[in-house]
Structure 1
Amino acid sequence: MRPEVLTWDARYREDFARLNRAWIEHHFKLEPADQESFADPHGTFVADGGEVFFALVDGKVLGTCALRREPEDGDTYELCKMAVDPEARGLGLGDVLMVAVLRFAQERSARRVYLVSNTKLGPALGLYRKHGFVTVREGEAVSREAGYARADIEMERRF
């Protein structure tokens, strides 16, 4: 099993939504910003200089994530919507996606990549820390500024 990482391809749009809906609905509830990104991943992430990544194994999309370029700060990117199919957890797909995301950001001279998450998501936070992300703040202010009620932690990786 050798995963293949591809960038945005409209054929996999439903996989992006499917994988992300699964973890969000399992732990939280879908929010308007989720629905907007599922409706138009290309417009939300790719059109402004970001990317959507897909991890495929034997032709099946088992992982995905997105990188959104900050329009007002072009050397800052936000890591968004990282998801791995429950049947594929433990196969290293999160690591493969993270390497692709960080390489993409570095190739575009990013100064930093940040993300917002939830402290209940221990395995996800462990993955982020493994790849050099550090906590920059926690609490209610994160959810207010991020636009997601579920967000209670912000992490970043500087280059």
Structure 2
Amino acid sequence: MVSSIASQRDADAFRALNEEWISRLFTLEEEDRAILGDPFGRIVGPGGDVLLAREQDSGTAVGCVALLAYPDGVFELAKMAVAPAAQGRGIGRRLVAAAIERARARGGTRLFLGTNSKLAPAIHLYEEAGFVRITRNRLPVADYYARADTLMELT
């Protein structure tokens, strides 16, 4: 089941899921801390959304993805995470599909993301969803994550 962020408990799960993988594989950047520390103010308030995948029985959040809103129908797919114990069950695929659908429902005409070449399963997932690789000069933002060495978009 995938649903939008609705409570501080959801915000805490969003932060914990992302801090786990970012800290394990990379370094948390200031922008990570700002977004993860205030998803309602930094994501939801400006027109984006945070989607959470939950275990059917317990309702526990086991995955998440954020949609950050930019002007002119542009959205960023960001902060996607699936708990290690829940990986391999199609949760990431469902989250990406739900995020694409949500961006379109909000008038999105372009969806972009940054990832890292170390994350081959994620890149494969994005390519399956129709994302194509782009160069840094195609990003709609000037300053972007240092760890993002693979940039993609869906139009």
TM-score (norm 1): 0.89
Q: Which residue of 1 aligns with 2:67?
A: 67
Q: Which residue of 1 aligns with 2:149?
A: 152
Q: Which residue of 2 aligns with 1:116?
A: 114
Give me the whole-angstrom Cα distance separating, in 1, the residues matched to 2:115 and 2:136.
10
Aligned length: 151
Give me the whole-angstrom Cα distance separating, in 1, the residues matched to 2:106 and 2:91.
23
Q: Which residue of 1 aligns with 2:97?
A: 99
Matched, 1:43 2:35: no
How far apart are residue 138 of structure 1 and its match? 6.0
Q: Which residue of 2 aligns with 1:53?
A: 51
Contact preservation (8 Å) 1:33, 1:147? no
3-state SS in 1 of match to 2:142? helix
Question: For structure 2, which runs of at least 5 residues remain unmatched after alignment?
Answer: none
TM-score (norm 2): 0.91
3-state SS in 2 of match to 1:95? helix
Contact preservation (8 Å) 1:116, 1:146? no
Task: Provide Cα deviations, 1:3-36, integer angstroms capped at 9, x if missing partner.
Answer: x111021221111011101110111011100110
How far apart are residue 156 of structure 1 and its match? 0.2
Question: For structure 1, which runs of at least 5 residues remain unmatched after alignment?
Answer: none
Give me the whole-angstrom Cα distance separating, in 2, the residues matched to 1:131 and 1:146.
26
Letter in 2 for 1:54: L
Q: Which residue of 2 aligns with 1:19?
A: 17
Runs of 4+ in structure 1 displaced over 6 angstroms? none
